[in-house]
Amino acid sequence: MADFTLRQLECFVAVVEERSITAAARRLHLTPGAVSVALRDLEDALGVQLAVRRRGEGATITPTGELAYARARATLADAGTLRDLVRSDGLSGPLRIGCFTTISPWMIPAIVAHFDREHPQVDLQFVEGPTSVLSARMRAGELDTVLTYANHLGTGVTAHQITPARLQVVVAPDHPLAELEEIPLRRLENERAILLGIEPAISHVESILRQAGLLPTIAWRSTAVETIRSMVARGLGYTILMGRPYGDHTYDGLPLVYRRISDDVAPNSVVLAVPERMQPSAMLTHLIAFCQGEFADERHFL
């Protein structure tokens, strides 16, 4: 089969819809001769007759031509979509973001609002969950990127840093440790802990405590950060978290105190992860740049 062109398909579709080479030429701002040649060349390329031309009687579409018409229209529509995509600098189409559960409240609303306002042609959807699950979905092609902490990631990904992050101890204002500007981990000895019950946060926090010589007294676990914060605010124990909301208050209005850990804790950061060796699309490049600008203020994570 010889090659054919979009222009030939366009002429063919116009002839089918106008039932006349002359009318099709008028619609496409071409001469009837140019349309007739394009139709003949398309027939030669496909090896079939698409229309019967009779002088003064217009064009009669053959059964094969009627069958080819639907596919020709679909091909032209696809080409139009591709053209629009290129002209919009690639900021169009589906964008699927995975986000680690505890980061989502800080970042996802701002990201969605930005794309909804500035690039409504982007169909942005997000999924929240553990990093391991989200990373597996990204490797399977179900997600374009994962927003998470750097120390959650395994191999096979490239991480684009968004903002530094550091664990902090959280206590109620009347807790004795609230008087300290920085808290040594050894001061948590014999204190009740209320810890996040999501991996790899479980292993990460408990590993840091063990390295400091502590065997934490874990009174409760929760997969919901706000549940933990509310329990801490009621004086039920301390917690160790990354991420600090505006106002340092719980859902029910109780205050909290965040304190840096004075021990040497390994650095961490919030990152956008993409599959290794994958060239980020225009949408991902824009997303990375937006996040790096929008979340440059480190107050939430340090």
Instruction: Report residue 233's pLDDT band, with 50, 70 and 90 as the boundaries.
Output: very high
**What is d(CA 143, CA 130) in angstroms, rounded to the nearest whole number?**
14
Contact assessment for residue 37 and residue 11, using Cβ atoms and an 8 Å cutoff: no
pLDDT digit string (tens) for 99-113? 999 889 889 999 999
Instruction: Report residue 283's pLDDT band, with 50, 70 and 90 as the boundaries.
Output: confident
All domains of the chain, ordered by start, with CATH?
6-87 (1.10.10.10), 93-165+268-300 (3.40.190.10), 168-261 (3.40.190.10)
Mean residue pLDDT across the chain? 87
Bridge partners for 103 per DSSP: none
Q: How many CA atoms lie within 13 A of 96 on its CB side?
A: 11
pLDDT digit string (tens) for 83-102? 655 545 667 788 999 999 98
What pLDDT was estimated at residue 244? 79
Tell me: pLDDT of 299 over 70: no
Structure pTM?
A: 0.66
Q: Give the residue from 64, 69, 67, 92 showing the smallest Cα distance to 80.
A: 92
